Amino acid sequence: MVDFKSSNMISVGEAMVELAPMGEGLYKRGFAGDTFNTAWHIAQALHGRASVGFATRVGMDRISDAFVAELADDGLDVSVITRDRQRTMGLYLIELDGVERSFHYWRDTSAARGLTADGGALAQAFGGAGLIHLSGITLAILPPADREILFAALAEARANGARVSFDPNIRPRLWPSMDAVHLTIPQVLALTDIALPSFDDEVAVWGDTSPEDTLARFAAAGVAEVAVKNGAGPVSVLADGQIRTLPTPEVKGIRDTTGAGDGFNAGYLSARLLGQTPQMAVLAGQRFSAEVIQHLGARLPRALIPSLP
């Protein structure tokens, strides 16, 4: 079973300004992003039992200031956030169709695309982490040369005892081509200890015909622990060389499916950082995900964060 040198965690990626519909042309400003959503939930779940940081790059403007201040107020380590004098945060607007959402993005000049601009700062941020979490979106927003800087920092951190978790979270429109996806994902899997893929992505990108295919492919890449999310279907887990399948409880009252996978990741990784088994971590991930999809938005109200022993 994958263990950790400490419970301290760093999540790496992009947070964006979110404009969420409130009705009749009115929108509420918030902040969201896949690895940010996961880090934020973990920080609330661990509630001071470990340090949780979000490594990103934002601007020098008031919106960026508000984002950093919100993170600090919510208990995250903001010392791993760097600033860009030329760029600011990306933005997206949400359209709702029942419980499903569609998104309109303005992110091409996002400051987070330069998050490896100071490779030394990134390596330093990783230094005390027991776990470093990233996603396919983290990779997709970076130019190829900057990905190499990130990979070098991850390799150094792993050599010093850190573990790496990775959610492939493939968004094809963020990548220049599927060839780039096929080239890059194996590179990061070689640096990954815990993988949290979604089966529908793996079918679309790699042609997997079953979650067992996904487990086998990740294991062949050297990943020790894999939990395959499959919507309302069972979660398939590989740990200690054993495969287990755990049913996903039915969820009623679904209001918004945004952030379901990020919520699962948060519950799973929180439980693992607290020393729980992968099977127990799946249950925690399912509880988080179920709560998220019963509420609007990708992040839960603090009072509804599932408790962890």
- What are the tens digits of pLDDT across the range 159-168? 999 999 999 9
* Assigned domain for 53 exists: yes
Tally of domains in the chain: 1
| pLDDT over 70 at 143, yes or no | yes
* Assigned domain for 11 exists: no
How do beta strands 16-23 and 91-97 pair?
parallel
The span from the first CA to the last CA of the chain, in angstroms, equals 19
pLDDT digits over 242-272, tens only?
999 999 998 998 887 788 999 999 999 999 9
Place of tokens 């573990």: 163
**C-alpha–C-alpha distance, residues 168 and 214, integer Å:** 12
pLDDT digits over 7-33, tens only?
999 999 999 999 988 777 889 899 999
Can you give the CATH number for the domain in which 38 is found? 3.40.1190.20
- Residue 145 carries which side chain, given as an amino acid letter? A
* Assigned domain for 86 exists: no
| CB of 186 closer than 8 Å to CB of 221 | yes
* Assigned domain for 52 exists: yes
* Assigned domain for 188 exists: yes
> How confident is the model over 197-209, as a mean pLDDT?
97
How do beta strands 131-135 and 163-167 pair?
parallel
* Assigned domain for 298 exists: yes
User: 142-170 burial string, b = 16+ CB within 10 Å, else e?
Assistant: beeebbebbbebbeebbeeebbbbbbbbb
The CA–CA distances, whole Å, from 58 to 13, 17, 42, 105, 214 equal 11, 11, 21, 17, 35
**C-alpha–C-alpha distance, residues 237 and 232, integer Å:** 15
How do beta strands 100-106 and 91-97 pair?
antiparallel
- Residue 48 carries which side chain, given as an amino acid letter? G
Question: Which of 193, 201, 256, 262 is flagged as catalytic?
Answer: 262
How do beta strands 26-32 and 82-83 pair?
unpaired
Using pLDDT thresholds of 50, 70 and 90, give the confidence band for residue 227. very high
Q: What angle do CA 145, 126, 10 make, to 5 degrees?
A: 100
pLDDT digits over 97-135, tens only?
765 678 889 999 999 999 998 878 888 899 889 999 999
Indicate if 262 belongs to the active site: yes
Using pLDDT thresholds of 50, 70 and 90, give the confidence band for residue 52. very high
How many CB atoms are located within 10 Å of the residue 105 CB? 14
Alpha-carbon 130 to chain mean position = 16
- Residue 118 carries which side chain, given as an amino acid letter? D
Which two three-digit tokens encode residue 9? 């965690």
**C-alpha–C-alpha distance, residues 15 and 237, integer Å:** 29
Q: Which helix (H) or strand (E) holds 213?
A: helix 211-220
> How confident is the model over 282-296, as a mean pLDDT?
92
* Assigned domain for 25 exists: no
* Strand ranges in the chain using DSSP code E only, listed in sequence order: 9-12, 16-23, 26-32, 52-55, 57-58, 82-83, 91-97, 100-106, 131-135, 163-167, 194-195, 225-228, 235-239, 242-246
Residue numbers of the domain that contains 118: 34-81+112-302
- Count of residues in the chain: 309
**C-alpha–C-alpha distance, residues 133 and 68, integer Å:** 19
Per DSSP, the chain holds a count of helices (H) and strands (E) of 10, 14
114 phi and psi, to 5 degrees? Answer: -110, 25
* Assigned domain for 62 exists: yes
| DSSP-assigned beta bridge partners for residue 245 | 236
